[in-house]
Amino acid sequence: MNRIKGIREKIPDQVKRLLIPVVLVIAAFVVMRHFLVPSDFGKYGHYRASAIDDVISLEIKYSGHMVCDDCHDDIVEVKKMSYHRDVACEACHGPAAAHTEDPDGNKLQAPRERGYCPLCHEYLPSRPTGFPQIVSESHNPRKACISCHDAHDPKTPEAPKECKACHAEIARTKALSHHIYVSCIRCHETPEEHKVRPRDYRPEKPIRRELCGECHAKNAPAAKAIPRVDMATHGERYVCWQCHYPHLPEVD
């Protein structure tokens, strides 16, 4: 007894006072638990048993894609083989349970507007590499995506093969320039694959001023009307395109 009394005396007063709030908190917890925990808590597991009934009573809004097959088998068939095979019908058309019960009374919307598809396809650095992405500001602006891509079978349509299909601005500039009749490939040797996978197969860009000299040097065997310069003294310390924009060469 004397030993316990000794220990009690050794505990400082402020620690003893700390015991009061601790006891109060524990008491409050026990009381609250009694009043606030629902009576059917823990009947089946660590949850409220009647939650199951609550969930069952919620209206079912999604139907899953299997039902669509009953009435839209043509679309289901096409989508199954397409790049969108893993995108659920209802991801684009919204909850469809009511529609499957009464198709004419409950019409679904189709996302035909241009703003929709970029939700998944707008370029974002955090998307996995290889996921097909576009920059909608510059990818065929203003036209609806579905005017070129079938939403149920979104193959990339084949791009037209002329350079101007993808380099419209350069082509338009050149068409108004002195170089209108100099073809793109005269200056850019272009592998055929560039027109299909442009970033993987790049055309050559001129690196030597002699290329321009092939037409513009004093002794070049080109047509007479082409203006000539003395390659040895005309801007000799630079490549020509540091002073002349090759797609719109101007002298003044």
Answer yes or no whether residue 222 interacts with ligand HEC by CB under 6 A: yes
Which residue from 41, 49, 98, 182 is in contact with ligand HEC, where contact means CB under 6 A?
182
Our finding on whether 110 is near ligand HEC (CB under 6 A) is yes
Does position 176 interact with ligand HEC (CB under 6 A)? The reply is: no
Return the range that interacts with ligand HEC (CB under 6 A); candidates 23-31, 34-42, 48-56, 166-174: 166-174
Choose which of 61, 112, 208, 218 interacts with ligand HEC (CB under 6 A): 112
Q: Does 116 bind ligand HEC (CB under 6 A)?
A: yes
Q: Measured between alpha carbons, how far is 109 from 166 in angstroms, rounded to an integer?
A: 33
Q: Decide: is 98 part of the binding site for ligand HEC (CB under 6 A).
A: no
Q: Which stretch binds ligand HEC (CB under 6 A): 7-15, 26-34, 43-51, 239-247?
A: 239-247
Two tokens at 25?
A: 């908190």
Residue number with CB closer to ligand HEC (48 or 244):
244
Q: Which of residues 29, 83, 123, 201 is near ligand HEC by CB under 6 A?
A: 83
Q: Smaller CB distance to ligand HEC: residue 49 or 76?
A: 76
Give how many residues touch ligand HEC by CB under 6 A.
106
**Exposed / middle / buried, residue 118 (Cβ in 10 Å: 0-12, 13-18, 19+):** middle
Which residue of 178, 191, 218, 221 would you call a contact of ligand HEC, by CB under 6 A? 178
Interface mask toward ligand HEC for 188-217; x: CB under 6 A: x-x---xx--xx--xx-xx--x-xxxxxx-
Residue 147 binding ligand HEC, by CB under 6 A: yes
* 16 or 186: CB nearest ligand HEC: 186
With the CA atoms of 162, 141, 113 and 151 taken in that order, what torsion angle do they form, in degrees rounded to the nearest 10? 30
Residue numbers 14-43 binding ligand HEC by CB under 6 A: none
48 binds ligand HEC (CB under 6 A): no
